[in-house]
Amino acid sequence: MAPTRWVIYAALSALFAGLTTVLAKVGLGGVNSDLGTLVRTAFVLLFLALFYAALHGAPRLATLGPRAWLFLALSAAATAASWICYYRALQGGPVAGVSAIDRASLIVAVCLAALFLGERLTLKSFTGAILITIGVVLMTLRSR
């Protein structure tokens, strides 16, 4: 059975996120992490605008309602905070450790989705969260 489209996009997201981390680590060499985050974000905006325009034409921002604006703005603020912290961590820490701790965001997302969106927290997802937590701990423990 072929995977559904969202699974393919999620796998590609993971691939690009891993690539992003390694490229960022190299790009941050001798650069202030906050400046690096700003430059990266400017390029993200440029690439997303070009991508959107190529697929959909000019964006129709007026079609977004106030609720969409509010929650997209809040999401952007959370993304900015995440990226600032991530780049600061990446500048001083190992890629494997920083990435492992960052992936613990899955646990936060699952819990928040259960609390605020009514998504079910199943035994399978709970077990997965526990295993991810164990993985994060193992990936960040220092070797003796």
Residue 98 covered by a domain: yes
Amino acid letter at 50?
Answer: L
Give the mean pLDDT of the chain: 91
Residue 129 covered by a domain: no
Q: What is the pLDDT of residue 139?
A: 86
Nearest to 76 by CA among 118, 45, 99: 45
How far is it, in rounded angstroms, from Cα 65 to Cα 35? Answer: 32
Overall domain count for the chain: 1
DSSP state of 52: H
DSSP state of 57: S
Q: What is the pLDDT of residue 140?
A: 86
- The residue range of the domain holding 9 is 5-103
Residue 19 covered by a domain: yes
Helix (H, G, I), strand (E, B) or coil at 4: coil
Q: What is the pLDDT of residue 144?
A: 46
Residue 115 covered by a domain: no
Residue 135 covered by a domain: no
Burial of 36 (0-12, 13-18, 19+ CB in 10 A): buried
Q: What is the pLDDT of residue 1?
A: 56
Residue 44 covered by a domain: yes
Query: Please, what is the end-to-end C-alpha distance for the chain in angstroms?
Result: 45
Residue 80 covered by a domain: yes
- Where the chain has pLDDT below 50, the residues are 144
Residue 128 covered by a domain: no
Q: What is the pLDDT of residue 6?
A: 87
